Chain A
Protein backbone atom coordinates (compact mmCIF):
# COMPACT_ATOMS: atom_id res chain seq x y z
CA UNK A 1 0.00 0.00 0.00
CA UNK A 2 1.51 3.30 -1.17
CA UNK A 3 -0.49 5.46 1.24
CA UNK A 4 -1.97 7.47 -1.64
CA UNK A 5 -5.74 7.20 -1.94
CA UNK A 6 -7.64 7.89 -5.12
CA UNK A 7 -11.41 7.94 -5.53
CA UNK A 8 -13.38 6.75 -7.34
CA UNK A 9 -11.65 3.66 -8.76
CA UNK A 10 -13.91 3.58 -11.78
CA UNK A 11 -15.96 6.28 -13.46
CA UNK A 12 -18.27 5.89 -16.44
CA UNK A 13 -19.77 9.00 -17.96
CA UNK A 14 -20.96 10.48 -21.23
CA UNK A 15 -19.39 12.93 -23.64
CA UNK A 16 -19.84 16.55 -22.65
CA UNK A 17 -20.05 15.79 -18.96
CA UNK A 18 -17.82 16.98 -16.09
CA UNK A 19 -16.18 14.77 -13.48
CA UNK A 20 -13.98 15.26 -10.43
CA UNK A 21 -11.22 12.90 -9.40
CA UNK A 22 -9.95 13.03 -5.85
CA UNK A 23 -6.56 12.25 -4.35
CA UNK A 24 -5.32 12.10 -0.78
CA UNK A 25 -1.52 12.11 -0.59
CA UNK A 26 0.67 10.03 1.65
CA UNK A 27 0.93 11.42 5.16
CA UNK A 28 3.65 14.08 5.29
CA UNK A 29 3.93 14.56 1.54
CA UNK A 30 3.41 18.13 0.41
CA UNK A 31 3.47 17.55 -3.32
CA UNK A 32 0.80 15.99 -5.51
CA UNK A 33 1.17 15.03 -9.16
CA UNK A 34 -1.46 14.03 -11.71
CA UNK A 35 -0.67 11.72 -14.63
CA UNK A 36 -2.80 10.36 -17.46
CA UNK A 37 -2.08 6.88 -18.79
CA UNK A 38 -3.43 5.67 -22.12
CA UNK A 39 -2.32 2.97 -24.52
CA UNK A 40 -1.33 5.36 -27.29
CA UNK A 41 0.15 8.23 -25.24
CA UNK A 42 1.80 6.32 -22.42
CA UNK A 43 2.16 8.08 -19.08
CA UNK A 44 1.64 11.81 -19.53
CA UNK A 45 2.39 14.35 -16.82
CA UNK A 46 -0.50 16.72 -16.30
CA UNK A 47 0.24 18.97 -13.34
CA UNK A 48 2.03 19.21 -9.99
CA UNK A 49 1.09 21.05 -6.81
CA UNK A 50 3.27 21.76 -3.81
CA UNK A 51 1.68 22.83 -0.55
CA UNK A 52 -1.31 24.33 -2.32
CA UNK A 53 0.56 26.09 -5.11
CA UNK A 54 0.90 25.00 -8.72
CA UNK A 55 4.54 24.10 -9.34
CA UNK A 56 4.75 22.52 -12.78
CA UNK A 57 2.40 22.09 -15.69
CA UNK A 58 2.59 19.46 -18.38
CA UNK A 59 0.29 18.40 -21.17
CA UNK A 60 -2.89 19.40 -19.43
CA UNK A 61 -5.79 20.45 -21.62
CA UNK A 62 -7.62 23.72 -20.98
CA UNK A 63 -10.74 21.65 -20.27
CA UNK A 64 -8.92 20.14 -17.31
CA UNK A 65 -8.11 21.90 -14.06
CA UNK A 66 -6.78 20.93 -10.68
CA UNK A 67 -6.24 22.29 -7.24
CA UNK A 68 -4.68 21.33 -3.94
CA UNK A 69 -6.55 22.19 -0.79
CA UNK A 70 -5.19 23.32 2.61
CA UNK A 71 -5.46 19.75 3.93
CA UNK A 72 -3.23 18.78 0.94
CA UNK A 73 -5.77 16.63 -0.84
CA UNK A 74 -6.12 17.37 -4.52
CA UNK A 75 -8.88 17.27 -7.09
CA UNK A 76 -8.62 16.98 -10.86
CA UNK A 77 -11.61 18.37 -12.72
CA UNK A 78 -12.28 17.19 -16.25
CA UNK A 79 -14.98 19.00 -18.22
CA UNK A 80 -16.58 18.82 -21.67
CA UNK A 81 -15.43 15.25 -21.77
CA UNK A 82 -14.57 13.61 -25.08
CA UNK A 83 -14.15 9.97 -26.01
CA UNK A 84 -10.40 10.48 -26.16
CA UNK A 85 -10.30 11.45 -22.49
CA UNK A 86 -10.92 7.83 -21.56
CA UNK A 87 -7.80 6.79 -19.68
CA UNK A 88 -6.35 5.78 -16.35
CA UNK A 89 -5.64 8.83 -14.21
CA UNK A 90 -3.00 8.50 -11.54
CA UNK A 91 -2.23 10.68 -8.60
CA UNK A 92 1.16 10.51 -6.93
CA UNK A 93 2.70 12.25 -3.96
CA UNK A 94 6.21 13.01 -2.75
CA UNK A 95 8.24 15.39 -0.66
CA UNK A 96 8.37 17.65 -3.69
CA UNK A 97 12.05 17.74 -4.54
CA UNK A 98 13.31 16.63 -8.01
CA UNK A 99 15.18 13.70 -6.44
CA UNK A 100 12.19 12.52 -4.40
CA UNK A 101 10.57 9.25 -5.36
CA UNK A 102 6.88 9.28 -6.12
CA UNK A 103 4.26 7.16 -4.42
CA UNK A 104 1.39 6.36 -6.75
CA UNK A 105 -2.25 5.71 -6.04
CA UNK A 106 -4.06 2.84 -7.73
CA UNK A 107 -5.67 5.18 -10.24
CA UNK A 108 -9.11 6.16 -11.50
CA UNK A 109 -10.24 4.42 -14.66
CA UNK A 110 -12.33 6.91 -16.63
CA UNK A 111 -14.54 5.68 -19.42
CA UNK A 112 -16.28 8.27 -21.58
CA UNK A 113 -19.09 6.76 -23.65
Chain B
Protein backbone atom coordinates (compact mmCIF):
# COMPACT_ATOMS: atom_id res chain seq x y z
CA UNK B 1 0.00 0.00 0.00
CA UNK B 2 1.08 3.57 -0.52
CA UNK B 3 -0.01 6.77 1.13
CA UNK B 4 0.74 10.47 1.22
CA UNK B 5 0.24 12.91 4.07
CA UNK B 6 0.09 16.67 3.76
CA UNK B 7 -0.14 17.78 7.38
CA UNK B 8 -1.25 21.35 6.70
CA UNK B 9 -4.62 22.11 5.16
CA UNK B 10 -3.56 25.71 4.63
CA UNK B 11 -0.31 27.66 4.51
CA UNK B 12 -0.22 31.44 4.60
CA UNK B 13 2.90 33.33 3.61
CA UNK B 14 3.70 36.96 2.85
CA UNK B 15 4.70 37.89 -0.67
CA UNK B 16 8.47 37.79 -1.04
CA UNK B 17 8.99 35.39 1.85
CA UNK B 18 10.13 31.79 1.38
CA UNK B 19 7.44 29.13 1.37
CA UNK B 20 7.37 25.47 2.30
CA UNK B 21 4.54 23.01 1.74
CA UNK B 22 5.09 19.75 3.57
CA UNK B 23 4.62 16.19 2.36
CA UNK B 24 5.46 12.79 3.82
CA UNK B 25 4.92 9.47 2.14
CA UNK B 26 4.81 5.74 2.70
CA UNK B 27 5.54 3.12 0.03
CA UNK B 28 6.92 -0.39 0.00
CA UNK B 29 9.40 0.19 -2.82
CA UNK B 30 11.51 2.98 -4.27
CA UNK B 31 9.24 6.02 -4.45
CA UNK B 32 8.43 8.23 -7.36
CA UNK B 33 7.28 11.56 -5.92
CA UNK B 34 5.38 14.36 -7.59
CA UNK B 35 3.99 17.80 -6.90
CA UNK B 36 0.99 19.13 -8.77
CA UNK B 37 -0.77 22.50 -8.53
CA UNK B 38 -4.44 23.26 -9.06
CA UNK B 39 -5.68 26.76 -9.77
CA UNK B 40 -9.38 27.57 -9.27
CA UNK B 41 -11.68 25.88 -11.79
CA UNK B 42 -8.74 24.16 -13.47
CA UNK B 43 -7.28 20.68 -13.68
CA UNK B 44 -4.08 19.74 -11.93
CA UNK B 45 -0.79 20.79 -13.47
CA UNK B 46 2.54 19.01 -13.02
CA UNK B 47 5.21 20.98 -11.14
CA UNK B 48 8.08 18.57 -10.57
CA UNK B 49 9.01 14.99 -9.79
CA UNK B 50 11.68 12.92 -8.08
CA UNK B 51 12.64 9.64 -9.67
CA UNK B 52 16.22 9.03 -8.60
CA UNK B 53 19.51 10.85 -8.21
CA UNK B 54 19.92 14.36 -6.80
CA UNK B 55 17.73 14.88 -3.76
CA UNK B 56 16.97 18.47 -4.74
CA UNK B 57 14.60 18.65 -7.67
CA UNK B 58 13.87 21.86 -9.56
CA UNK B 59 10.56 22.40 -11.31
CA UNK B 60 8.28 24.91 -12.94
CA UNK B 61 7.68 28.51 -11.79
CA UNK B 62 10.76 28.55 -9.51
CA UNK B 63 9.59 25.72 -7.27
CA UNK B 64 11.88 23.03 -5.94
CA UNK B 65 11.48 20.04 -3.66
CA UNK B 66 13.86 18.12 -1.45
CA UNK B 67 13.67 14.36 -1.19
CA UNK B 68 14.65 13.04 2.25
CA UNK B 69 14.66 9.26 2.37
CA UNK B 70 15.32 8.92 6.11
CA UNK B 71 12.40 11.20 6.95
CA UNK B 72 10.27 9.93 4.05
CA UNK B 73 9.53 13.52 3.10
CA UNK B 74 9.30 15.53 -0.08
CA UNK B 75 8.67 19.14 0.90
CA UNK B 76 7.92 21.75 -1.76
CA UNK B 77 9.81 25.02 -1.49
CA UNK B 78 10.21 28.38 -3.16
CA UNK B 79 12.68 31.09 -2.10
CA UNK B 80 10.34 34.03 -2.73
CA UNK B 81 6.56 33.64 -2.90
CA UNK B 82 4.38 35.46 -5.41
CA UNK B 83 0.69 36.29 -5.05
CA UNK B 84 0.15 34.26 -8.24
CA UNK B 85 1.45 31.17 -6.41
CA UNK B 86 -1.80 31.08 -4.42
CA UNK B 87 -3.40 27.74 -5.31
CA UNK B 88 -4.03 24.20 -4.10
CA UNK B 89 -0.92 22.01 -4.02
CA UNK B 90 -0.95 18.23 -4.13
CA UNK B 91 1.84 15.80 -3.33
CA UNK B 92 1.60 12.36 -4.95
CA UNK B 93 3.49 9.06 -4.84
CA UNK B 94 3.83 5.93 -6.89
CA UNK B 95 6.56 3.35 -6.69
CA UNK B 96 8.67 0.99 -8.69
CA UNK B 97 7.23 -2.21 -7.27
CA UNK B 98 5.83 -4.77 -9.66
CA UNK B 99 2.23 -4.17 -10.53
CA UNK B 100 2.05 -0.71 -9.03
CA UNK B 101 0.86 1.98 -11.38
CA UNK B 102 -1.47 3.87 -9.09
CA UNK B 103 -0.58 7.45 -8.34
CA UNK B 104 -1.83 8.32 -4.86
CA UNK B 105 -2.44 11.95 -3.95
CA UNK B 106 -2.43 13.71 -0.63
CA UNK B 107 -5.45 15.75 0.43
CA UNK B 108 -3.89 18.97 -0.77
CA UNK B 109 -2.60 22.14 0.89
CA UNK B 110 -4.10 25.51 0.12
CA UNK B 111 -1.37 28.10 -0.26
CA UNK B 112 -2.32 31.73 0.23
CA UNK B 113 0.30 34.36 -0.54
CA UNK B 114 -0.59 37.65 1.10
CA UNK B 115 0.39 40.88 -0.68
Q: Is the CB of B43 within 8 A of A104?
A: yes
A-B CB contacts (within 8 Å), total count: 62
Is A113 positioned at the interface, with any CB of B under 8 Å from its CB?
A: no
> Interface 1/0s, chain A 35-56, versus B by CB < 8 A?
1000000110100101000011
Is B51 positioned at the interface, with any CB of A under 8 Å from its CB?
A: yes
Q: Which of B43, B102, B106, B107 has the most CB of A within 10 A?
A: B43
Q: Is the CB of A45 within 8 A of B96?
A: no
**Within B29-58, which residues are at the interface with A (CB < 8 Å)?**
32, 34, 36, 41-46, 49, 51
- Interface locus among A63-71, A77-85, A93-101: A93-101
Distance between Cα atoms of A56 and B95 in the complex (Å): 13
Closest 10 CB pairs of A and B: A104-B43, A42-B107, A98-B94, A43-B105, A104-B44, A101-B46, A56-B102, A99-B32, A106-B43, A56-B101
